Structure 1
Amino acid sequence: MLDVILALLPATVFGIYIFGASAAVTIAVSIVTCVAAEYIYQKLMKQKVSVSDLSAAVTGLLLALNLPAGVPFWMPVLGGLFAIIVVKQVFGGLGQNFMNPALGARCFLMISFAARMTTFTYDGVTTATPLALLKAGKSVDLGSVFTGFIPGTIGETSAVLLLLGGAYLVLKKVISPLIPCIYVATVAVFVLLFGGHGFDLTYMASEIFSGGLMLGAIFMATDYVTSPITSRGKIIFGVLCGLLTGIFRLFGPMAEGVSYSIIIANLVVPLIEKITVPTPFGIVKAKGGKDNE
């Protein structure tokens, strides 16, 4: 968990630099809410307090990075309570949640407060995100999209810093690069085939580096609890996330689609595990699906 926090620091600091003090406050409120909610819940339920494992802090940080700067401060509070209590603790705590808590909270806030969650400012001006511009058939500056000088949520704008954080996690062997690579590659192929721009690599790169794809693919689709454990399972999971993201972005009413894609794929993980977990040595599969020694 500490490595994940360290990997997110470059994008976090950049988000504060771009969006100002309101972003810093949103991040602080979200982290404090998640840690406090976990502590209080575990105390009330007479459970072992586990906030020292930093999982609640990671959830709070990821939730904040998925929020627009300048949202009312009750929104990260409400989202943090939903993430920790509803998605995580009610289902048994760390290791038992059926979907990524931060993404579950973001989708809850999106459904409940869609207008506020899709209002983005940059340099003090409310403006469209690169994904919204692409959705409207307009072009974007790829350099700005890659470096992060664009409107968006606090932590999603700088693709280069998110890739830097992802490289750190891979080098530290915290995550496998399989899911992020398959996820992004699937979106890239989908955009080339169905984006309506032919073999336009600039358009493809703009779709890949815009929005929450890098943040989601590297830091949330790779969540140990809600992603498959086998290599085949990871490939299927990554392809599913990519296909859903492509469908939501290109054919859905919204410009983005990463959060819903990962959550839907999270729900399918038990099925993916069932069909990809290898048969233990010495066990023979019977025709009825039962294992015999």
Structure 2
Amino acid sequence: MNTLLVAPSPHQKHPITTQRIMLCVLVSLLPAVIAGGYYFGLRAIYLVLLCTIGSVAMEGWCRILMKRSQTISDLSAAVTGMLLALNLPVTIPAWQALIGCFVAIVIVKQLFGGLGQNFANPAIVARIVLMLSFTSNMTTWVIPRYWKSDSDVITGATPLVTGTASYRDLLLGNTGGCIGETCAIALIIGGVYLMIRQIISPSTPLAFIGTVALLNLIAGNDVIYQLLSGGLLLGAFFMATDYVTTPITWKGKLVFGIGCGVMAFLIRQFGGYPEGVSFSILLMNILTPYIDRFTMTHPLGAVKPAKEGKSHA
């Protein structure tokens, strides 16, 4: 005898779990971590481990204090911590990095209900909070392999400020900047890996990068230099593709990516900050519910609900 089971959607479930998705993201970030360690030394690896372990520990403690089931095994906190570390300069004090972990995990993620409930990408918000709170430390960059330098001056500017780095240095990561944003090749390898594994859709990163390229071409800037500099690739592949804080429809993903590209270009071109990727993603995160509303597919034949005070004739 066949039994008909009636249950709410989803009716078709994918075998991949949140844990496996997050594990793939961690693997995709390893090339950037290795490149950061090569150019900025053991302290870069130390900060990556500190932020990753610190974020997991804070999520664990927070879940205990809030008397909720543990979620550290889904690896989302580890991903947040690693992303945050890759968005930090290698010279930032450890205690400030841990404040960033606290903002990302406790305030942005757990106080809003945990994974799936946060309104913005936790690592993005943490980076912006640190940028506004500790501006000097967040904008102090060291030259690659600074510990080997015979010069007393080991600090330098990012390629977006100097405009003098070669394409080769930008591709390989031999420039100043955050731990994980300098090596374009490492970021591209990680992004392509995520697309091949179908963890992320190419819609948002391609729309983001393509919009920045088009606007810089119109403005007469060096397009390749702008694409390989700063945190554009890190943001486009790993932060603008967050499942929770970005649109769910393919049209929405395109709109989101284009919006990020426009805002990042405007901030870079006319704003007070040389880098606008973090601010652009955060602003678009806030607009995500509205993008979803206007790009969501409506059921065929569905009748629009009548507004209050009105009735159908």
Report the TM-score when normalising by structure 1: 0.93
- Which amino acid in 2 is paired with 1:217? A
Corresponding residue of 1:186? 211
Structure 1 gap ranges (5+): 198-202
Corresponding residue of 1:251? 270
* Aligned mates of 1:141, 1:129 — CA distance in 2: 12
After superposition, what is the alpha-carbon deviation per residue over 1:237-260, rounded to whole angstroms, capped at 9, x for unaligned?
A: 001000000000011111101001
* Aligned mates of 1:80, 1:27 — CA distance in 2: 11
Corresponding residue of 1:126? 155
* Aligned mates of 1:144, 1:10 — CA distance in 2: 16
* Aligned mates of 1:21, 1:235 — CA distance in 2: 39
Matching of residues 10-89 of structure 1 within 5 Å = 10-89=31-110
Report the TM-score when normalising by structure 2: 0.87
Match of 1:230 among 238, 241, 249: 249
Q: Shift of the alpha carbon at 1:75?
A: 1.3
* Aligned mates of 1:287, 1:132 — CA distance in 2: 55
* Aligned mates of 2:263, 2:27 — CA distance in 1: 29
Determine if contact 2:191/2:237 at 8 Å carries over to the other structure. yes
Corresponding residue of 1:160? 185
- Which amino acid in 1 is paired with 2:216? V
SS of equivalent to 2:212: helix
The answer to whether residue 233 in structure 2 is matched with residue 208 in structure 1 is: no
Corresponding residue of 1:148? 173
Q: Shift of the alpha carbon at 1:99?
A: 0.4
* Aligned mates of 1:224, 1:281 — CA distance in 2: 26
RMSD: 1.6
The answer to whether residue 288 in structure 2 is matched with residue 263 in structure 1 is: no
After superposition, what is the alpha-carbon deviation per residue over 1:17-45, rounded to whole angstroms, capped at 9, x for unaligned?
A: 11001111111111111001100010011
Q: Shift of the alpha carbon at 1:133?
A: 1.1
Determine if contact 2:204/2:257 at 8 Å carries over to the other structure. yes
* Aligned mates of 2:45, 2:92 — CA distance in 1: 12
* Aligned mates of 2:261, 2:100 — CA distance in 1: 25
Q: Shift of the alpha carbon at 1:287?
A: 8.3
- Aligned-pair identity in percent equals 46
SS of equivalent to 1:90: helix
- Which amino acid in 2 is paired with 1:158? C
- Which amino acid in 1 is paired with 2:166? D
* Aligned mates of 1:285, 1:231 — CA distance in 2: 23
